[in-house]
Structure 1
Amino acid sequence: MTSTLAEKAVVGRLVEFAYHRVPNTYLPGIITAITDDPASLRIRLGNARSTIAVRANYENLRYLDQVIPVPELPMGRFHPTVGHFDGNTYAGVAACQFEDEDIILVTADPAAARAALAAYFEAQDMDPDYDRHDPDRLELAWVVFEWEPEDAEHPWLMDFAKQGDDMAIQIHYLPA
Structure 2
Amino acid sequence: MISTLETKAVVGRRVEFAYYRDQDTYLPGIITAITEDPASLRIRLDGARSNLAVRPDYEGLRYLDEIAPVPALPMGRFHPAAGHFDDNTYAGVAVCQFEDEDIILATANPAAARAALAAYFKAQNMNPDHNRHDPDRLELAWVVFEWQPEDAECPWLMDFAQEGDDMAIQIHYLPA
TM-score by length of 1: 0.91
Retained in 1: the 8 A contact 2:49–2:74?
no
RMSD: 1.7
- Change over 3 Å in CA distance of 1:99–1:5 after alignment to 2: farther
- Change over 3 Å in CA distance of 1:62–1:165 after alignment to 2: same
The aligned counterpart of 1:62 is: 62
The aligned counterpart of 2:46 is: 46
Structure 2 unaligned residues grouped into runs of 5+: none
**Shift, 1:89, TM fit:** 2.4
Q: Distance in 2 between matches of 1:16 and 1:131?
A: 45
**Shift, 1:153, TM fit:** 2.8
The aligned counterpart of 1:165 is: 165
TM-score by length of 2: 0.91
The aligned counterpart of 1:4 is: 4
The aligned counterpart of 2:101 is: 101
> Which residue identity lines up with residue 63 of structure 1 in the other structure?
Y
Q: Distance in 1 between matches of 2:101 and 2:40?
A: 35
TM alignment of 1:16-165, pairs within 5 A: 16-165=16-165
Retained in 2: the 8 A contact 1:15–1:30?
yes
Write the deviation string for residues 54-93 of structure 1: whole angstroms up to 9, x where unpaired: 1111111111111111011221111112232344322222
Secondary structure of the residue aligned to 2:128 is coil
Retained in 2: the 8 A contact 1:51–1:151?
no
Percentage of matched positions with identical amino acids: 80
**Shift, 1:128, TM fit:** 2.2
**Shift, 1:102, TM fit:** 1.8
**Shift, 1:130, TM fit:** 4.0
Q: Distance in 1 between matches of 2:151 and 2:21?
A: 23
Provide the aligned length of Structure 1 versus Structure 2. Answer: 175
> Which residue identity lines up with residue 165 of structure 2 in the other structure?
D
